[in-house]
Structure 1
Amino acid sequence: MSSDLDKLLGQFKKVAGGGQVERPSARFTSYAVTNFRGGIGKSTLSFNLAWEISRASKTLLLDLCPQRNFTQSLLGDDANTAGATIYDALLPGVMAGTPNIELDDLLASVPPACLAFKYGAGAHVVPGSSELFLFPSLLYTQLSAAANLGGRSQETTRNILQSVEHLGAALRKHLRATKTLLDTSPFFGGATHLGWVAADALVIPVRVDQHSMEALKLTLSMLKNPEMDFLRLNKQAGIGKIPKVHAIVMTHCGWNRQTTLTPDRSTQAYLGQVIEIAKANAELFSCDDPVDAIHLLDDFHSAGRISGSKRIPLAKLTVGESHTIEGQRLEVNESLTRYQRELKSLASTI
């Protein structure tokens, strides 16, 4: 295990120092950013990945989290005036007879609302909805009813579970988009469940703390335990596709002030745990060696708060600039360059 940790530390010493690291070759169309733990910077990560990906690829963004943080970051005040939402889009797939929404009515172009997204390949979002808080009850009621339809049970269950997948495919074709990024809730039930069915691959942010270690174990167990909801209902629906774990993104990493570009002892201890967990679930990953799927991100400190609050991708911040947030003056320090390199390295694998 120490050799795996040494390999990981060596890779990210190169990344943080501005060097190049050889990456696994697998690439996918749709990615879900997901983990069963809140407060780990998931939506801030999704926002920054959305910017990075949309530089070269026309990108469809779906906000499947009822908290709508992703939507707020992308659209700002326009999020409150958006018309149709992801909830409206999902109802026809879950409840037969509900009228479909026109695709153009679902989409909001990001660059007019977030100027940092200009000059890329294009990004459109289907806004999130607080009504998704109530969606799990509706979804599982419909799935329970579908289970009792006899010969029509499997097809009906499959159509319900593939609601997000079908929506994403239709919107990508409509936009001529090549990538989809889904931001999900810390809770599996409801739209996150449908997001997993839709996703080709998962990006799993993991904070360097013990609660996040347990959340990672639970997340991976959902992908392999046939008794848990994801695989159990997939089997009921005749769905064989399971998303690959494409990236484990360690967030809020601390750095050793005595040793250049090296995580501190606490962070290294958690990295060791993550390596063990990943190795024990190697068959779930998109690459042969799960260590190659582990990425390190700093605790972004002031830069992270500015990025989230002011809706500015880290890549567009500059060292020395300052902003006032909740009455506190925050300045971007020289560590920003390292943060930008880490994010760009992660985005290059997508």
Structure 2
Amino acid sequence: MSETIYLDYQATAPLAAEVFAAMEPWLKEQFWNPHSAHAGGRKAAAAVEFARAQLASLLPPDGRVIFTSGATEAINLAIKGCGLPVSALASEHAAVLDCVEYLRGDIIPVDPDGRIAEMPSQPGLFAAMLVNNEIGIIQPVADIAATVHSRGGLLLCDAVQGFGRVAIPDGPDLIAISGHKIHGPKGIGALWVRDGIELEPLIHGGGQEQGVRSGTLSPALCAGFGAAAMLASERLEVDAEHVCRLWDHAVELFADWTINGSIEQRYKGNLNIRREGLDVGRLMSECRDVLFSAGSACASGSGRPSHVLRAIGLADAQAKSSIRLGFGRYTTLEEIERAANSINAAAERQLA
């Protein structure tokens, strides 16, 4: 049986060995509660604050980092906690769109490339993702922020897919990030909040996290998140060059497929492609040695066409004939070749 090839980096990234090493002591002998007043608790609290500083070093200087259970909680805290009318791009993650729907906010369209088509007209909170999780498109976040601010509003940036991979632009007032997308652990995320912005808590209890979020923090998860961020910062150029080489080779190997979204304005660790008439479910079942996706992992199994692909103007049949290949730091060129051979052969058999 051939070795499995992992090409679903947008869903989650492999845990880095350096990250596991940073977490291990806090999972074993240093098990203390960081909110306890004794010496062990103080050591754990110091580890949490060290990790907070590591994350903050990759974010704008004029704000604070609030640890959460993940980006979904961070987004909910930002949208529901700010108390403002809300609007968002049609291609945002479900965590954003479901909050907007809950609050009866507005949806702003994107163009066929996946970029913002018009600026929001009303003041309030506007949500724009830095790097789209399904098609990898990079939004002009700095320009969007300038427009939003000129109209008296705030900008929430879901930077989950961009943090540690591309530079965080100036302008956002709130930034959501996640540990497991940058080779860190699952179950940890954070919300960066610009100084002067106050949020109403979603979770009430002990108020352990700056009075905004209640619950015991995990020093292990915080330490892992911080270590992953530092590793990403140190490897930023090397990882980016590697991803570009993988992209160039993958595009050649999938020359018979159509790329969804802009080719230029995107993060190149995401290749979302389609072939007309393809049954993607069948394709995935025939390529079990390659782990890839038909869209967002959060919406898998719903049977609905991707809302992102529909937002850029694809028909349902086109959306359902699309696949997402995600690769990164630990993907090799040889794996890309083997995966392309397997996927292309299965597609040709199906379409013959």
* TM-score, shorter chain, exceeding 0.5: no
TM (norm. structure 2) is: 0.31
**Per residue, is there more helix in 1 or in 2?**
1
TM-score normalized by the length of structure 1? 0.31
